[in-house]
Chain A
């Protein structure tokens, strides 16, 4: 039997993201300094050149997103990291990556407030921006891990989804997850599942970079490998040539969005805690889910049938699972570090089958287990 390496480390979430990126095969990072995400840039500046990868600090967030897309087209798995203000600037080229179907990973370590807000404090208020931050109809995959170990796994998964579905994937940490330190066992590389983009098997003259492929995901050729083709942010036909022909545009737009809708079951990741008989279900993600888990346990100790639904994939949204939950729970409480965002999605998916309550905080402090427990006790009366 081959000997497997077992590496146990004490890492912060941002550092685990660096480890996950290297393990996933990332070989390009472009970014711009911003709190509370800078440790990801710093870590990759150190690590990438050691493994033959490239790091560049760009002149701004927009340029960083652009360089990431360029490098991915040239064949390197690419990543950038930022926080709210930078995520706003990246929105432009995230849309370009959606439109041109270029795989890449965008990390947003969420901080508090709109605008400059609270640069060193946590927030979870960019979850709707992750879905709709760039203009126009587009697919979204966004993951929100809750622990350092899960940051590692979610980073690898983000790259796999990006390569599998040819699109940008948003990795949403919150400042707590990004900066807290926990024990993490880095798996042996042989134990990590890696997905690489599917390359064309047809001769170059037959290659259609934006083919209406039966899988909805056309094979992707890297620049410089013998398949010369055109990439544009304009609506385009299967050859990649700009077009305004309504049926061609309609087919292209529909396929873009369908990529995620069709493979939703394969993408969705969530955890249920004591949900089997739960009367009161808490919906929470990221660091808030850590508080919620404790609150649910404490409620159980008091004889209240509480449970936790924790999505890792915020987008696509686990709508059917929430509807099923709403059909048997007495009430769903949505806890999030914002003034109410995912709650709208939970309400929409519940179809009125259960009343939905909110637990919010947007002052830069975390939502405590007590705050959630108090609310559970209140609604259980």
Chain B
């Protein structure tokens, strides 16, 4: 039995993802990371919102929660605070986490609550048929941007860092072996961890933007990704159009649930309320 089969809910297959989609590649990297950490399945909770990537928790044999659009991090905050010993992974997409769920995203990062958010960035709304999203590059086409997108995309990692996340990393579906290490590091970090993963969407993004077949889109990831160390040596001009990958940022910060434990101890030690 492969390590993957240990964790899959086989009656849920076949999955809903299109042929050539990158989401399954991330699923495998995620399962490799979980397997390396040797966590009991009962102690792991996987939570998602709405979209293609958000179907992922249904396929894995953990405590799984497929919620409403954009709200996964808020549901996860409740689960984690209620059961701090549980490892909670949040699966989200670029539309889910950054548009309708943008508020929950910045506040979960600000609290530095111990969640690991895997953000699948396919540059588009896939499930609804290819509308432009908060990460669609300027000038690219979408079903709702038939003349080209005029909006400026978010830099997800910078947003997470500025909001207060304690671990920020970026990977791609192509760099699969790097990705499972980034996810593992994110899960080991006791605080809010963001792992952005660039995934190819050949069906509704690639076709509309002449990106070629899935293999061509993966080759684009291979040719345009650059590691953090190598990127440090390049000028901003040389970095234009490149995708910096690896651990972009990390720091130690007080974690929310641990801080709340202190609040409980303080409240229980007090006989009267402060005036």
Contact = CB atoms under 8 A, between A and B. Distances in A.
B65 interface: yes
A101 to B, nearest CB: 13
Nearest to A204: B42
B128 interface: no
Contacts of B71: 62-63, 66, 92-93
A70 B107 contact: no
Given A63-B107, A67-B75, A28 B66 contact: no
B78 interface: yes
Contacts of A72: 78, 82
A49 interface: yes
B246 interface: no
A28 to B, nearest CB: 6
A234 to B, nearest CB: 7
A72 B61 CA distance: 20
Interface string A35-68: 0000000000010011010101011101110111
The B contact surface, by secondary structure, is: helix
A66 B68 contact: yes
Contacts of A60: 103
Given A74-B82, A224-B45, A59 B107 contact: yes
Contacts of A70: 47, 65, 74-80, 82
A75 interface: yes
B242 interface: no
A102 B260 CA distance: 25
Contacts of B203: none
A224 B77 contact: no
Contacts of A58: 74, 77, 107
A220 to B, nearest CB: 13
Contacts of B103: 59-60, 63
A78 B58 contact: no
A241 B66 CA distance: 10
Contacts of B80: 70
B155 to A, nearest CB: 21
Contacts of A234: 66
Contact of B75 (A69, A224, A225): A69
Interface residues of B, number: 42
B41 interface: yes
| Residue among B11, B78, B85 with max Cβ neighbours from chain A (10 Å) | B78
Contacts of A303: none
B268 A50 contact: yes
Interface string A124-167: 00000000000000000000000000000000000000000000
B83 interface: yes
Contacts of A63: 71, 74, 77, 103-104, 107
Nearest to A223: B63
B82 A59 contact: no
A224 B68 CA distance: 21
Given A59-B106, A67-B81, A70-B76, 13 more contacts: A50-B267, A54-B81, A59-B103, A62-B74, A70-B77, A70-B82, A71-B79, A74-B82, A224-B83, A228-B42, A228-B64, A229-B63, A232-B65
Nearest 9 CB-CB pairings of A with B: A70-B78, A67-B78, A63-B74, A66-B74, A49-B267, A74-B82, A71-B82, A232-B66, A71-B78
Interface of B: 9, 11-12, 41-43, 45, 47, 57-58, 61-68, 71, 74-83, 85-86, 103-104, 106-107, 260, 263-264, 266-268, 273
